[in-house]
Amino acid sequence: MATIQLKQVEKRFGEAYAVKPLDLTISDGEFIVLLGPSGCGKTTTLRMISGLETVTAGQILLDDKNVTWLHPSARDIAFVFQFYALYPHMSVRDNIAFPLKAQGETKELIDERLKLVVDLLRIGHLLNKRPGGLSGGDKQRVALARALVRRPAAFLMDEPLGALDADLRESMRAEIRELQLRLKATTVYVTHDQIEAMAMGDRIVVMSAAVVQQADTPTQVYYNPANLFVAKFIGSPGMNLVQGNYAEGIVRLPGDNQYPLPPGWQNSITRGENVILGFRPESAHVSPEGMLQGQVYATHMHGSYTMLHLNMEGDNVVHVRADRSQRYPIGANIRFDVDAQMARFFNPQNETALRQHQEQSRMTNDGLAVSNSQSSVSHSQSYE
């Protein structure tokens, strides 16, 4: 398997950027997810890595070898498409063997490799069938087998689960991730489904409007979003964002709600400044003595929990994860607390996250503090 480096890679159509200059290093065996809404440039990026799309400027390195201008077939990578792209006139066996036959491999080698991938994906019983008769999940397994059999340097997957129904998507998600971990395969995976990205990725590259918004681990992207876009895009529902005003150690929120500024933020926010408070639904807890309150607008039963939609005032609806055994009638006033550790603040003008100054109170579980403290410098400068 291989490392992939993108250096200042960009794609333009005339004046319009599909992808603005982008730097990304994908290490050996890493599962990278390119995530974003449709039209954000994620698929274009993937297609540039594969060579199906040429770059307008920049370089693509595969294991330190410049492949920027190589034909897709010469790059030693495998592409898995959303619509499987299986050849309908060939049996499953011939479909899987096709890339090897194209390379002129011997029959013994083909049989051996075929057996390996077929066992790996447990599709032995399908070998003599035509793709047309297979279920969506089996089609995607066959497509994966065809990608695997070549033993490429890297896998590129373009929404491979997009055409499957929800239930199957869930189980295939685990299947692909397990397979990737077992093979230690460098993988670039494109999706618009943030759940998929969170569940599968070692790192998530969040893109929007042709620009990378944040590239980090799922935990960081989820709890420490770099800006409002990421905060809203990641999570279902997204991060709760409430506009407020800071003064005297207290953030005043709509509906006469007051939230004491948690320790560590005093230096990041100045008096009289508008800020946006952000918190995740599970970082809030319903409690009779809660500091904040809202009116129940809707309740959503989710099986394992109930999601409360609380209206603080105007159109400020926040989501709070609550115990399913309780009843919350529509229109009732509910008090709740937000975990001080998990509260985040954003600058409403430039929509970026504010950073705490005392780094010791940060929750991090890998070596990300470095990059965060770097960015906190540049962000805090604009506030002082």
Site for other proteins in 354-373 (CB under 8 A): 365, 368, 371
> Does residue 285 interact with other proteins by CB under 8 A?
no
- Angstrom CA distances, 194 to 129, 284, 304, 357, stand at 34, 21, 20, 29
Report the residue from 235, 244, 262, 278 that binds other proteins according to the rule CB under 8 A: 235
Q: Work out how close the CB of 102 gets to other proteins at its nearest, in angstroms, rounded to a whole number.
A: 22
Q: Which of 53, 202, 282, 337 binds other proteins (CB under 8 A)?
A: 282
Pick 133 or 249: Cβ nearer other proteins = 133
Select 17 or 98, whichever has its Cβ closest to other proteins: 17
Distance CA 325, CA 210 (A): 44
Helix (H, G, I), strand (E, B) or coil at 293: strand
Give the DSSP H/E element, type plus range, for residue 45. Answer: helix 42-50
Residues in 120-159 that interact with other proteins by CB under 8 A: none
Query: Scanning residues 241 to 280, which ones bind other proteins (CB under 8 A)?
Result: 280
Residues between 187 and 226 that touch other proteins (CB under 8 A): 192-195, 198-200, 203, 209, 211-216, 218-219, 222-223, 226
Q: Which stretch binds other proteins (CB under 8 A): 42-50, 105-113, 122-130, 350-358?
A: 350-358
Question: Is residue 173 a contact point for other proteins (CB under 8 A)?
Answer: yes
**Beta-strand runs (E) in the chain:** 4-13, 16-26, 31-35, 57-62, 65-66, 77-80, 154-158, 187-191, 203-208, 211-216, 240-247, 250-253, 257-260, 274-279, 284-286, 292-301, 306-313, 316-322, 333-338, 344-346
**How many CB atoms lie under 10 A from the CB of residue 237?**
15
Q: Which of 270, 300, 348, 358 binds other proteins (CB under 8 A)?
A: 300
Among 109, 298, 332, 369, binds other proteins (CB under 8 A): 298
